[in-house]
Amino acid sequence: MKHDTSPSALPYGPFLGGLGVLAVLVFGASLLIGPVSISPLEGWQALGGDDTNLLTLVLQEIRFPRAILGAAVGAILGLSGAVLQGLLRNPLADPGLLGISASASLGAVIALYSGLAALHIFALPVAALTTATLAVSLIILLVGRSFDILTIILAGVALTSLAGALTSLALNLSSDPFAALEIVFWMMGSLTDRSMDHVFLSLPFIMAGGVLLFATARALDALSLGHDVATSLGINLKRTRTLAIFGTAIGVGAATAVSGAIGFVGLVVPHVLRPLVGNRPSHLLPASALGGAIFLMTTDILVRVILPGKDLKLGVMTAMVGAPFFLWLLYSLKRRAV
Amino acid sequence: MTLLSCTSLTASLGRKQVLDAVSFAVDRPQLIGLIGPNGAGKSTLLKTLAGVLDHGGDVQFRGQDHRAIPAPEKARSIAYMPQERVVHWDLACRDVVLLGRLPYRGWAGRASTEDRQATDDAMGKMDVLEFANRPFNQLSGGEQARVLLARLLAQSPALVLADEPTNGLDPAHQIGLMKTFRSLVDEGKTVILSLHDLTLAAAWCDRLLLLDHGRMTADGPPETVLQAETLRQVYGVETEWVTTSRTAAVIAVDISSSRTPRET
């Protein structure tokens, strides 16, 4: 007699394959859908072409980097959420928890406020990466001293408040209303007008962060049985924690540096996918990476379709789609339990 | 070869020293009961032996320095079950048991047929195969204890450490569990478990280690360790041995009126 691993779980291999196919389809749709509508055939020709007509330009310079960033940023947010939830054994953990997103935002805001951002295209992302790195160093310092994960979270909360306060200070002191508006818009998160330069800047960091995060898979499984049993199963928890924090810092820091703060992906995506992979933390990692990519690319398409002329911000959209969906999910789970 | 020997073992939780110069050796498969009042250091000793807590003094496992054994290798020989029966995510029971095979799998390695076989064997032995696909968190306490024990067996260790495994179980499950431990000893494994139930300890264990305030107060077969005078001093209770047609057991009958003052 052959059973699934748990009543609601789907067979893992095919499920992951299905998510992969869906991700590819959404990626394709993300290239074709927008103010300039492109047919699949035209798109295929334009993507490989080297002529300078409008279609080729739109596809290669605008849509392609945007789709790549949507996939990469969504994937790292979903993955990091799944890892942090597994590490903390808490379904409410989120990449924003460690203060990385807020710190990266602060760097970007400083670049915008000081006018550095206007000087060079890389000034803003580099500033964001720098502050994210500073935040991580601070966290690593704390990690070195304490074994307690709660300390790290509290440090993250403190860091988030501090970065938030400094960001508000920049807005407060900004004499230029245009700069203030730019800061506010940037903080909403967006993938509009990103170029291949942004891709080249962030993708290596996002991928490196992803590798570190995936390396925690086995340990996260063991942690289902608690801290002590995981240790007795030969898992080095200190190493696991360092991988998770570094991975999130590098990956999410780089993602925030190019996209701005995008909430809800890291929280909702692992939560939705968890029962479908039999609740196994290691199986949740690749699923959440694919799910995050699909979710973010889809919302980025919605942003373009719903209000084409208004530059609707992606971070606004993820929360507007994610939050009601999350509430519905909680409601239906509750009903099932009763 | 001596499986395990501790010489002047010390351990601390934070700044508080919990174990003080504990020494004992195990040179043949035994069912060893670790007894002592709350806070005596039973859990700490088990955690130390499991490699979860750092320790001072000398601990040798199969003639090797316990601290020098690489963690994955240690995990293939020593299995540990904590007091609280917790599984954090809603895992199916088979996935819980399969975690016992983690020390045998490579980095990101998938479970081999051998791993699946060992998992099924362990579940069969604990009679939990019928729960294989049920969520762990929906089982009763006794069923959960059996599933977690199957996880421990799947690890195929030489030394089994269990912290109050009979806690919260009804008499039938308690006896069933002790029988399982007994059969593990018959297979050549050594089992060390902490117990609060002196009757159970007397009835099932080959040897008892009595801890009090982090020190080893007595070490020997149940009938020598469970002396009325010793128990009065350590636990502050009056005990009597009761002999029935099938077994001899020690029962606590009252709290001692004049508790012998102890050094602290």
Task: Check which CATH number belongs to the domain holding B49 and give it.
Answer: 3.40.50.300
Contact B70, B180 (CB under 8 A): no
Looking at the domain assignment, is residue B23 inside a domain?
yes
Say what the pLDDT of residue A129 is. 83
Q: Which of B76, B82, B88 is opposite residue A228, by nearest beta carbon?
A: B82
- Check A218 against B102: CB less than 8 A apart: yes
Q: Which of A217, A224, A228 is opposite residue B108, by nearest beta carbon?
A: A217
Contact A76, A204 (CB under 8 A): no
CA distance B152 to B146: 10
**What is the model's pTM?**
0.88
Looking at the domain assignment, is residue B80 inside a domain?
yes
Say what the pLDDT of residue A291 is. 96
- Check A223 against B88: CB less than 8 A apart: yes
- Closest to A268 measured CA to CA, from A72, A101, A81: A81
Looking at the domain assignment, is residue A6 inside a domain?
no
Looking at the domain assignment, is residue B260 inside a domain?
no
- Closest to A192 measured CA to CA, from A316, A75, A100, A77: A316
Number of domains making up chain B: 1
Contact B207, B30 (CB under 8 A): yes
Q: Which of B99, B100, B133 is opposite residue A6, by nearest beta carbon?
A: B133
> Higher model confidence: residue A129 or residue A81?
A81
Looking at the domain assignment, is residue B261 inside a domain?
no
What residues have CB less than 8 Å from B2, skipping those under 6 apart?
B25, B26, B27, B60, B62, B63
CA distance A244 to A156: 14
Structural domain including A270 reads: 12-337
Say what the pLDDT of residue A334 is. 59
With b for 16 or more beta-carbon neighbours within 10 A and e for fewer, the A246-264 pattern comes to bbbbbbbbbbbbbbbbbbb
The pLDDT profile of chain B, 264 residues, written as one tens digit per residue, is 788 999 889 998 888 889 988 999 999 999 999 999 998 999 999 999 999 988 888 999 998 999 899 988 999 999 999 988 889 888 999 999 999 999 888 665 677 888 889 999 999 988 899 999 999 999 988 889 999 999 999 999 999 999 999 888 888 889 988 999 999 999 999 999 999 988 889 889 999 999 999 999 999 999 899 888 888 889 888 888 888 887 778 888 888 776 555 544
Q: Which tens digits make up the pLDDT trace of A216-254?
A: 999 999 999 998 999 999 999 888 988 988 898 889 989
Average pLDDT, chain A: 85
Chain A residue nearest residue B87, CA to CA: A225
Looking at the domain assignment, is residue A1 inside a domain?
no
Looking at the domain assignment, is residue A2 inside a domain?
no
Q: Among A18-32, A43-57, A277-291, B27-41, which stretch is predicted with the lowest mean pLDDT?
A: A43-57
Q: Is the pLDDT of residue A45 over 80?
A: no
Contact A66, A296 (CB under 8 A): no
Looking at the domain assignment, is residue B264 inside a domain?
no
Looking at the domain assignment, is residue B263 inside a domain?
no
Confidence of residue A338 (pLDDT cuts 50, 70, 90): very low
Q: H helices then E strands: how many in chain B?
A: 9, 12
Say what the pLDDT of residue A3 is. 41
Interface residue B52 vs chain A (CB under 8 A):
yes
Q: Among A32-36, A275-279, A317-321, B160-164, which stretch is predicted with the lowest mean pLDDT?
A: A32-36
State how far the alpha carbon of A211 is from the alpha carbons of A126, A206, A207, A223, A248, in Å. Answer: 21, 9, 6, 20, 10
Contact A259, A277 (CB under 8 A): no
CA distance A40 to B173: 65
Chain A residue nearest residue B48, CA to CA: A232
Looking at the domain assignment, is residue A91 inside a domain?
yes
The arrangement of strands across the sheet holding B78-81 comes to B78-81, B159-163, B190-194, B31-35, B207-212, B215-220
- Check B102 against A5: CB less than 8 A apart: no
DSSP H/E element including B242? strand B237-243
Number of domains making up chain A: 1
| In the block, residue with structure tokens 């694919």 | A290
Looking at the domain assignment, is residue A4 inside a domain?
no
Interface residue B159 vs chain A (CB under 8 A):
no
Q: Among A11-15, A184-188, B121-125, B157-161, which stretch is predicted with the lowest mean pLDDT?
A: A184-188
- Check B102 against A224: CB less than 8 A apart: no
- Check B52 against A231: CB less than 8 A apart: yes
- Position A100, amino acid: I
Widest Cα–Cα separation across chain A:
72
Looking at the domain assignment, is residue A143 inside a domain?
yes
Q: What is the interface pTM, i.e. ipTM, of the complex?
A: 0.90
What residues have CB less than 8 Å from B245, skipping those under 6 apart?
none
Looking at the domain assignment, is residue A212 inside a domain?
yes
Structural domain including B239 reads: 4-255
State how far the alpha carbon of B68 is from the alpha carbons of A114, A140, B30, B50, B65, in Å. Answer: 55, 27, 25, 13, 5
> Higher model confidence: residue A185 or residue A273?
A273
CA torsion, ordered A57, A63, A66, A70, to nearest 10 deg = -160
Structure tokens at A337: 């339990």
CATH number at residue A227: 1.10.3470.10
Q: Report B:59-98 residues touching A (Cβ under 8 A).
A: 70-76, 78-82, 84, 86-92, 94-96
Say what the pLDDT of residue B252 is. 82
Chain A positions contacting chain B at CB under 8 Å are 3-7, 9, 89, 214-215, 217-218, 221-226, 228-229, 231-236, 274-275, 278-281
Q: How far is B228 from chain A (nearest CA, A)?
A: 36
